[in-house]
Structure 1
């Protein structure tokens, strides 16, 4: 065990005050605020920090636009951190802060940090669920919630033109485990000391969808709440506060079984309420999914590209190893050059 999850996400934004107001309404617990930054701290001890995109504390990287400009991953022990840093220092610059945080760039140029993390155990008590013939809540109403209060940072997503290369660095240098593959769309990975279905997802930025332009961009962060009720209460509260509502509405992913609600966010990208996701250990066997079939079991507002019924198509990944395509091997139009069928058959 080494990396146990996300310790800090650092946003670089155009308007600190507006983004602060957003996340206060979203339900993040405010920890500290000044003219230059805002600091939220969740129940598990993880942090959300907001700074201006031109603040010197925002690292230079391959990222285009605003959003999460650095992810600091939490490490369980000093010896685990030392081992990771020793390996990383072989072929890249590592910068160490006075508090011991290590900063560096991944092979794709995105900014990463490592820091010791003493994660606080989180307690939750979702209401028992009744169903026909299965009574678990007798003479007891469900809890009434006023707004959401996320307790965890479950995962972060980046759009990347070379998603296999981005994933390979996390797998080979940081010890992440492959969770699942969404054909042509992206790769889900889990930190070796975490049980979340995924802590990182690399989304193919060459997909022909709005907002995808083949650049390295931030996509979204998933914040964990107790249950479906808290997801919807949070979304309703945000709408009452005047924030733009979700385009897709409530849904459930098939790949991770998770309830989702994506909300547009003034940081750039989206903020996601998430609940009821699968949890994994090292006995898990990754799967390869048809992108639409894996994407959702249900969704409230289907976009046109979702209307066609997806086939029941998935398979176990087995010994899959992603193709590591260097930037210079990319075609002029930004797409990957063809690879050998033996290496690409599971994702092409």
Structure 2
């Protein structure tokens, strides 16, 4: 069991302003972007740039990726982090799970959000969600997640891309060794942590406000990024800015009274990054060919992992 609010899919990307006229979301079978190549001598690691949201009706398939996985000795998935409670911890957690998503003391969104943000929420809720009184009792971070996913779906986009599942299937098909770079922390007293979370005021209005802002202004930019990824248009991909939309929502968890004193959790992203980079260096030393995955923000944004490898003397080549 892990908290869905700290799922490994964190660190998604925000969108830059759209290119004028970008409306069509690509469908059908598409190859996605080319691969980054990291090498030292004859040892090579190919890095696939994962991204979401993508077009709902797009079917990803890359013969290049499949051929490289087939000859790889090792696979490095994206770095991840989460909270584990274990079987017995899960049983202890159950009595506190009811109402987990709701604001404490029966508060509604209108009570915890700034008036201007709440008014904007009402417009987007009517557009993308419709009548739903229960969601008005949810914490802003959970209501924001529902709004974001509904907004994407209404615009032909989804975060459930299926790309990662297909990569896992290929890795299993060719029996490639898998080396995860995950950071998973087990709560010593999950019931107490959940109780504290439920009873503590939220620190997630910034998460909510940023979600509203993205859906108000950046839907066209999301189409630009999704279309560019689908056809492997690196010129468009490289021209768009990357910033973490999810950062404010992750921070809403870290700043909550139930978790803010946990130093391991606060440094989870940094720990996962270090683990991935260490695994990458070891794999490049040991294998002729390695296949790895990072999100586009970890390949192009300010958190670019490959710059660290380049600084250590590895040759890094971006796809054209």
Give TM-score, length-normalised by structure 1. Answer: 0.24
Higher relative contact order (CA 8 A, sep 6+): 2
More strand by share: 1
Give TM-score, length-normalised by structure 2. Answer: 0.25
